[in-house]
A and B are shown apart, each in its own frame.
Chain A
Amino acid sequence: MGTVHAKSLDPLPMHGRDLSVNPDDLVEAPETEQEAKQEILENKDVVVQHVNIQGLGRTKEDLLGYEISDVFHAKNLIDVMKKSHIARQKLLRLGIFKEVEVLIDTSEGTDALPNGLDVTFEVTEVKRLTGSYNTMVGNNEGSMVLGLKLPNMFGRAEKLTFQFSYGTKETSYGLSFFKPQNTNTVVTATLNFPLGWTNHTLKWEGVWRELGCLARSASFAVREESGHSLKSALSHTVSVDSRNSAIFPSRGALLRLNQELAGYTGGDASFLKEDFELQLNRRLFWDSVLSASLWGGMLYPLGGQPSCIADRFYLGGPTSVRGFGMYSIGPQSEGDYLGGEAYWAGGLHLYTPLPFRPGKGGFGDLFRTHFFLNAGNLCNLNYGEGPRAHLQKLAECIRWSYGAGIVLRLGNIARLELNYCVPMGVQSGDRICDGVQFGAGIRFL
């Protein structure tokens, strides 16, 4: 956590290179005897005269001035301690110091005021080169990442990292160099409140989206969507959740309805988006659970503009319709999937504990075997026609799959799945993943 020393008797230690923000230097003068005095320090007015940083090697001083400038504004001792603590957090957050210790002491020297204080940050810079090794699990892929990092290369918290990642989906390596910035490209304001059995969330979201083609050979339909756009959207979510657990519920139901309206509070994107999620669970014989789920959604572009690829729905993958590649169902162009404006997906699962119940009462409870039947469709609707035509379009070309597998619960949030899938109803253009499919994520069909 860190230590804060507040001393009033001993002289300030001066070791190593010292950087003083105040041009006056503190001289290491022999200390005259001071009597320990009992005082109520809280209400005593103090003035912070000097703020020093010791232990800087390659870090440039101008980078740190901003972080520690607030300490000068403290008016009493408690305030000094609070502001020093905040400054310490800021210095640590830059990622260039291994440890930061704060020393608060009375002022020394010829210009010392009777209520003057000196604050010193004793820092230890990180090594020039650090290595790391970790494993990552994302939605449908696992990978092992080896990293090499050069923090604070030129003294202003620049970071050069090299990462090599070897995973189930792709192997990649990348070199990145960045300077710390204060810009945010997503701004949200959320209001969450319960109302009876239901939980409501009102959110305003402002997103600056920049879409670009990563590969030269990306299809032209994807290339046409490149560029900047601003989405300013209001959304409202209602959810009713009576399940007894988020990951392996054995009873209860979940209903979540979400609406998003973009374009009426500014921005370039203009659409109305609706989607819902329904899940029912029921316990059957012998600790097995039958679970049925249904998802659906519709995107209605407003203002005559076509919808943007970033707003459309995607379907497919180990977290939705199993047996198909990630987001690999629906309209596509030259191998790149463009998403669709309407979709539905349903799943029927039978969860049972592991056969022969190994590790019962402990580790074994984290696992389940499940047998599943998934189905879904994703397409673009022609909004000029009536609802009958829409339903008809969603009902033709249904993709479905069945299979079985093992599910592992991670905490109370995520789960891992290893399934054997048999995809059916495959349309031309879909990419399937028949046989063994691995999935990891938070929200599963």
Chain B
Amino acid sequence: MSLPAEAFMSQIAAAEPWPENATLYQPLKEDQILLSDCASSLAVQAYLRMCGLPVQVVCRVNAEYMSPSGKIPFIHVGNQVVSELGPIVQFTKAKGHSLSEALDDVQRAEMKAYMELVNNMLLTAELYIQWCDDATATEISRPRYSSPYSWPLSSILAYQKQWEVRRKMNAIGWGGKTLEQVYEDVSQCCQALSQRLGTQPYFFNKHPTELDALVFGHLFTILTTRLTSAELAERIKSYSNLLSFCRRIEQTYFEDKRS
């Protein structure tokens, strides 16, 4: 379909109400999904729950390849397929649901800045620990990533993914970092988030925004995922307001069903 036709279709889709059978796709929860994907998926789920939009979570082995951008998670709404938190926020906005409408321009810019911080620091640190740390890659990431496939395809895909992530890390300058430095970066990021949060319930006082969903997704996943070393979780635990923030969101939005 040509670009104008696609844009036209998007416009039409935007006018439709949110259907009952909206679905979110992610890799298999028990055996396959990795830390970074789980965090991104949880962030989107939290965001949709905050908006009050029902969505069903479906686990598929090939979710990564089904996604139009190659990234997890993606949602299938009506006959539209949208992936990643940013575009999903835009998509829901077009349908009339938004969490950041009440913010003024300064606050919105601040929110975007903090979201970029989380993406550039926390997400990158998660990817680094998963694929660039040999112990984690060998014990956890590669076996999990390759579990649905048979040999030799499993080894090929796992190593391919590892090389791809390592190349990306080198390209953004993280290739030379040590694990200690990465933990330090995570600490600093958490410190910035903790300071911004302060004693408020959410980042922008009373009501949650997409920033809250994103931070919750990453922090909660790190706290509840077993890695080769508990260091990452420990760094986050040292900020008590972040811990209570996670607990609050879990209780408010996920109490009926844990995802």
Residues of A within 8 A of B (CB): 208, 211-213, 215-217, 220, 223-230, 266-268, 334
Which residues on the B side are within 8 Å of A225 (C-beta)? 62
Q: How far is B151's CA from A220's CA once the two chains are assembled, in angstroms?
A: 28
Total A-B pairs in contact (CB under 8 Å)?
49
| Given contacts A216-B6, A217-B9, A220-B76, A228 and B150 within 8 Å (CB-CB) | no
Closest Cβ of chain B to A211, distance in Å, is 8
A–B Cβ pairs within 8 angstroms, 25 of them: A208-B156, A212-B65, A216-B68, A216-B81, A217-B1, A217-B6, A220-B76, A223-B81, A224-B66, A226-B66, A227-B61, A227-B62, A227-B64, A227-B65, A227-B66, A228-B62, A228-B153, A228-B157, A229-B149, A229-B153, A230-B150, A230-B153, A267-B153, A268-B150, A268-B153
Across-interface contacts of A334 in B (CB, < 8 A): 79
For the complex, give the distance between the alpha carbons of A229 and B157 in Å. 11
CB nearest neighbor in B for A266: B150
CA of A268 to CA of B152 in the docked complex: distance in angstroms? 11
Most-contacted residue by chain B among A211, A213, A230 (CB, 10 A): A230
A residues within 8 A CB of B66?
Answer: 223-224, 226-227
The smallest beta-carbon distance between B60 and chain A, in angstroms, is 8
Chain B residues, Cβ within 8 Å of A267: 150, 153
Docked CA distance A224–B153 (Å): 19
Centre residue among B1, B61, B79, B150 by max chain A CB count within 10 A? B150
Closest Cβ–Cβ distance, residue B124 to chain A (whole Å):
26
- Cα-based distance from A213 to B66 in the complex (angstroms): 8
Residues of A within 8 A of B64 (CB): 227
Give every chain A residue within 8 A of B60 (Cβ-Cβ).
224
Residues of B within 8 A of A230 (CB): 149-150, 152-153
Q: How far is the CA of A142 from the CA of B61 in the complex (A)?
A: 39
Are B1 and A215 in touch, CB under 8 angstroms? yes
With an 8 Å Cβ cutoff, the count of chain B residues facing the other chain is 20
Closest residue of chain A to B154, judged by CB? A230
Q: In chain B, what residue has the closest Cβ to A212?
A: B65
B→A interface (CB under 8 Å): 1, 6, 9, 60-62, 64-66, 68, 76, 79, 81, 149-153, 156-157
**Beta-carbon nearest neighbor of B9 in chain A:** A217
Taken together as a complex, chains A and B put the C-alpha atoms of A215 and B157 apart, in Å, by 24
CB distance from B40 to the nearest CB of A (A): 19
Query: Do the beta carbons of A208 and B153 come within 8 Å of each other?
Result: yes
Q: Which of chain A's residues has its CB closest to B148's CB?
A: A268
Starting from the known contacts A215-B1, A226-B62, A268-B150, 8 additional A-B residue pairs (CB-CB under 8 Å) come to A216-B1, A220-B76, A225-B62, A227-B64, A228-B157, A230-B150, A268-B149, A268-B153
In the assembled complex, the Cα of A225 lies from the Cα of B79 at a distance in Å of: 16
| A41 CB to nearest chain B CB (Å) | 47
Across the interface, do A220 and B149 meet the contact criterion of CB distance under 8 Å? no
User: Which A residues touch B79, using CB under 8 A?
Assistant: 220, 334
Task: Chain B residues near A226: list those with CB within 8 A.
Answer: 62, 65-66
| Chain B residues within an 8 Å CB radius of A266 | 150-151
Q: Is the CB of B1 within 8 A of A228?
A: no
Chain A residues whose CB sits within 8 angstroms of the CB of B156 once the complex forms? 208
Chain B residues whose C-beta falls within 8 Å of the C-beta of A213 in the assembled complex:
68
In Å, the complex CA distance between A220 and B76 comes to 9
B4 to chain A, nearest CB (A): 13
A232 to B65, CA, bound (A): 21
Instruction: Name the A residues within 8 Å of B1 (CB-CB).
Output: 215-217
The CA of A208 and the CA of B157, in the complex, are separated in Å by 11
Give bound CA distance, A343 to B81, whole Å. 32
Closest to B156 in A: A208
Q: How far is the CA of A266 from the CA of B149 in the complex (A)?
A: 10
A51 vs B152: C-alpha distance when bound (angstroms):
39
| Distance from A207 Cβ to chain B, minimum over Cβ atoms (Å) | 10
Residues of chain B contacted by A216 (CB below 8 angstroms): 1, 6, 68, 81
* Residues from chain A with Cβ under 8 Å of B151 in the complex: 266
Smallest CB separation, B58 vs chain A (Å)? 10
**Nearest B residue (CB) for A226:** B65
Ranked nearest first, the 7 interchain pairs of A and B with the lowest CB-CB distance are: A227-B62, A227-B65, A230-B153, A226-B65, A217-B1, A226-B66, A223-B66
Complex interface: chain B residues within 8 A of A217 (CB):
1, 6, 9
